[in-house]
Amino acid sequence: MGEPTFARTFDTLRNTVTLIARAWLAAGARTFGVRCADEYLGAWGAEPGTMDLRAPIYAYGKIVGEVCVAGVADAGARARLGADAALIARLFEIETELDGMTGELVEAQDQLLALYDLDRSIRKHVSAPDTLTAVCREAARLVKVSGSFAWLAAPAGEWIVQAPPDGTPVERVRALIDLATARGERVLENDPAENYFVIPLLVHGATRAGLAWLNKRDGAFTSPDLKLARAIADQAGAQMENVLLYQETLAQAKLQNEMDLAVRIQLGLLPRTQPVVAALDVFGASRPASQVGGDFFGYLQRADQAFTSFVGDVAGKGISAALLMSMSYTVIRNAMRFMPAPTPASVLGRVSDDLYDELSDLGTFVTVFIAQYDLSTRALTYANAGHSPVIYCPAHGAAQLLIADGTAMGVLPGRWWEDQRLDFSPGDVLVVATDGFSEAQNAAGALLGYDRLLELIEATRHLSAQSIVQELYAAAGKFAAGFPQADDQTIIVIKGAG
């Protein structure tokens, strides 16, 4: 639009000035004219020649032109011409201001449209680099600079994007980022040789992002440029927050998927059918807590061997416990399968040799109980690496807790376990549960505890293995009375059959 001048604006004033001119001609003037820089912008009446009176037009503190009249020269006319010059000056000023306001309105409208475009173009992107690139490109275009860059530092990564690439060295970009981040406020340099404007942004309440403009094309950032830049930066900041939020949600969804997968793998490892064993009634089950835990159980029936069952529990919760559970389960099963004459204690020793270092590095341990049933002697041989509760309830006698013969695996290096022998007659019951049972809680914080478990088993020993399992789950559920199950509850009941 350029600088408003009197000559350019005069056309819009011409109608009004014509009225003034006619009044002069009616009052006896021969010619009335308005001049600017020795040229007539308008003349009324006879061709302008020598003028008798002149009056300067003062606007914005300087002479922008003059009015002149020929054919009258008295004092009254002189005063009147002065007044008309002042009137035209005032008209010129009003017109100029109106022009300016219109210009600002048009510019505001342009900026709104530009921001709308910006918003639409960056909203399409959900990854951080794509968003930054779109922001930079639009920012450079709208503010008319040769280059722009944006940065974003988040837990998921750090990005610095230059668009369009204007050859600014990476070190220079990094220095400007550091400068703005350190100051925590906008940095403007308007030196014609090198100008830039850098805006650090608060994303999620911390200064971790920003936007910068380099090398304004016509030499300097004007006040409207800076206003527009700030508006773009606000918009960009909001979009960056969205992107981060989206990525966090995505990461959470991914983690949840992995958790679900871990649970499925875990459940897939556990036996889906109950074993059929001569002279035994066996039933096992596992009820996972809401969070993935580390419980496991299994059976092994090898033609040449006694029936073997095992129950284990990895200390801890979550993915790490689930992974260790899978690993322990596999190592135990393989040991039982491939050792020439596996006994519970020798299997524990072998498994401990395999797992001790890993468990120790991860700061955790695994409890494992293994039992073998020999039909010819009607005896159970077992070994217990720190597992509890294990409850033995003879057909005619009090239920009792069996103490482990060595600590859990991963606590101490070496082989600490010995085979224990338990005569197992019809009606005798062995319950191998995990601490999810003994530590089942109610809202008051009370634990189900060992004593209640012993009573429950004595009261249900006449039932089938499956019914005992069901009764124990029911009792744990009734005790918790809706209080969430904090840990996996796994149980195997082995009962001597007739």
Partner 1 sequence: MELASRPLDKLTVITLGGRLDAYTASTLIKELDQRATATPANVLVNLNSVNFIDSTGLAALVQGMKRCREHKGDLRLCGLQRPTRMIFELTRLDKAFEIFATEAEGIASFNG
Nearest distance from residue 322's CB to partner 1, in Å?
14
Strand blocks (E) in 91-185: 145-154, 157-162
Nearest distance from residue 423's CB to partner 1, in Å?
22
Give the residue with the Cβ less far from partner 1, 159 or 365. 365
Give the residue with the Cβ less far from partner 1, 235 or 352. 352
Give the up-direction half-sphere exposure of residue 21: CA atoms within 13 A in the CB hemisphere. Answer: 20
Sort 193 into a burial class: Cβ within 10 Å, 0-12 / 13-18 / 19+: exposed
In 3-state terms, the chain is what percent helix, strand and coil (to 5)?
45, 25, 30
- Is residue 352 involved in binding partner 1 (CB under 8 A)? no
- Residue in 91, 405, 430, 490 binding partner 1, rule: CB under 8 A: 405
**Cβ-contact 287, 490 below 8 angstroms:** yes
How is residue 408 written in tokens?
A: 């859990």
- Is residue 407 involved in binding partner 1 (CB under 8 A)? yes
- Is residue 129 involved in binding partner 1 (CB under 8 A)? no
Nearest distance from residue 368's CB to partner 1, in Å?
11
Residue among 279, 300, 429 at smallest CA distance from 370 = 300
Nearest distance from residue 203's CB to partner 1, in Å?
29
CA distance 462 to 484: 30
Span near partner 1 by CB under 8 A; candidates 20-28, 262-270, 322-330, 363-371: 363-371
- Is residue 367 involved in binding partner 1 (CB under 8 A)? yes
Strands 31-36 and 62-70: antiparallel
**Cβ-contact 237, 203 below 8 angstroms:** yes
Give the residue with the Cβ less far from partner 1, 236 or 430. 430
In the block, tokens 């124990």 appear at 472
- Is residue 447 involved in binding partner 1 (CB under 8 A)? yes
Residue among 135, 139, 104, 118 at smallest CA distance from 224 = 104
Give the residue with the Cβ less far from partner 1, 121 or 407. 407
- Is residue 387 involved in binding partner 1 (CB under 8 A)? yes
In the block, tokens 């819009």 appear at 12
- Is residue 486 involved in binding partner 1 (CB under 8 A)? yes
Give the residue with the Cβ less far from partner 1, 246 or 483. 483
- Is residue 364 involved in binding partner 1 (CB under 8 A)? yes
Span near partner 1 by CB under 8 A; candidates 336-344, 346-354, 392-400, 409-417: 409-417
User: Which residues contact partner 1 (rule: CB under 8 A)?
Assistant: 313, 315-317, 360, 363-365, 367, 386-389, 401, 403-408, 410-412, 416, 435, 439, 445, 447, 449-450, 486-487
